[in-house]
Amino acid sequence: MIKFVDKTEHKTINMRAKIVAGNWKMNNDLDESKSLVKKIAKSIKKQPLENTRVIVAPTYVSLQKVASKAKGTKVEVAAQNMHFEKSGAFTGEISATMLKSVGVHIVILGHSERREYFGETDALLAKKVDAALANKMEIIFCFGEVLADRKAGNHFKVVESQIKNGLFHLEAGAWKNIILAYEPVWAIGTGETASPEQAQEMHAFIRKIVADKYGNDVAENVSVLYGGSVKPSNAREIFSKPDVDGGLIGGAALNIDDFKAIIEAI
Ligand code: PGA
């Protein structure tokens, strides 16, 4: 969030950040990751990128190297997941303090693939949210309905309950570290995208439920990203919607030309 003073009105205006975040999922080995982050950093070096953030989320094994390559560039680095405990007998898991020790201050939580394939529930995610915030990390919190929910007209209800259960126990002040990502599951990796109107309708709804709970100031300042088959050919139109503040990009984030075009679209 960037605050600036409107000279004509003499008051402070909040402007939420635009964000393009690439979720690399289980793709790219170490060399590929280092090379991709280098290319991204180079491609945006001369762009003004006012109030716009570019984030990449590599796999755990590449995080440290990618974070050190990204240092001093306009690229920020996020983890794709983390455990809620600080340390202990949790084979295969990584904690917030470990992420921070390699220079990572952002974490994606609640991605639909984590929910679906790894059984992550709203209650578990709420614990992860608390652990991330306790460690002063920023969270990209994902949620979204499956196709059956949309077909049955339950999509608003599902999204509302995922947001409530994961985040509504927080105090208003914590929301400066929250980025929301609406990702309709039927649009992830399928080539099928929500129409810009469907995205705007849901994003406006999300902002409204946040406003109802926390007030307009929090709601107007939280960035709400859209995710699900964003590509160069549809990014501009989706990003042009007033409540869409950017995208969480999967497949198209793996290709420098596509990712660059999506950054240009914003
Ligand atoms: P996709 O993935 O762009 O490949 O649909 C988006 C995501 O899962 O974040």
Residue pLDDT, tens place only, 92-124: 999 999 999 999 999 999 999 999 999 999 999
Q: What is the pLDDT of residue 193?
A: 86
Is residue 54 within 8 Å of residue 40, measured between CB atoms?
yes
CA of 3 to the centre of ligand 1 (A): 31
- List the CATH number of the domain containing 86: 3.20.20.70
Query: Which residue(s) pair with 139 in the sheet?
Result: 107, 178
CA of 143 to the centre of ligand 1 (A): 12
Q: Judging by beta carbons within 10 Å of its beta carbon (0-12, 13-18, 19+), is residue 85 exposed, middle or buried?
A: middle
Residue 240: domain span: 2-265
111 catalytic residue (yes or no):
yes
Q: Is the CB of 246 under 6 A from ligand 1?
A: no
Which residues are CB-neighbours of 232 under 8 A, at least 6 positions away? 252, 257, 258, 261, 262, 265
Q: Is the CB of 23 under 6 A from ligand 1?
A: yes
Q: What digits encode the pLDDT tens for the residues 19-48?
A: 999 999 999 999 999 999 999 999 999 988
Helix (H/G/I), strand (E/B), else coil: 225: strand
Over residues 211-215, mean pLDDT: 98
Q: What digits encode the pLDDT tens for the residues 214-263?
A: 999 999 999 999 999 999 999 999 999 999 999 999 999 999 999 999 99
Q: What is the pLDDT of residue 14?
A: 54
Q: In angstroms, what is the C-alpha Rg of the chain?
A: 18
9 catalytic residue (yes or no):
no
Query: pTM of the entire structure?
Result: 0.94
CA of 113 to the centre of ligand 1 (A): 10
Ligand 1 atom 6 nearest Cα: 250
Q: Is the CB of 183 under 6 A from ligand 1?
A: yes
Tokens of 160: 């509302």
Domains held by the chain: number: 1
Q: State which ligand 1 atom lies nearest to the alpha carbon of 181.
A: 9
Q: State which ligand 1 atom lies nearest to the alpha carbon of 227.
A: 6
Q: Is the CB of 228 under 6 A from ligand 1?
A: yes
Q: What is the pLDDT of residue 5?
A: 43
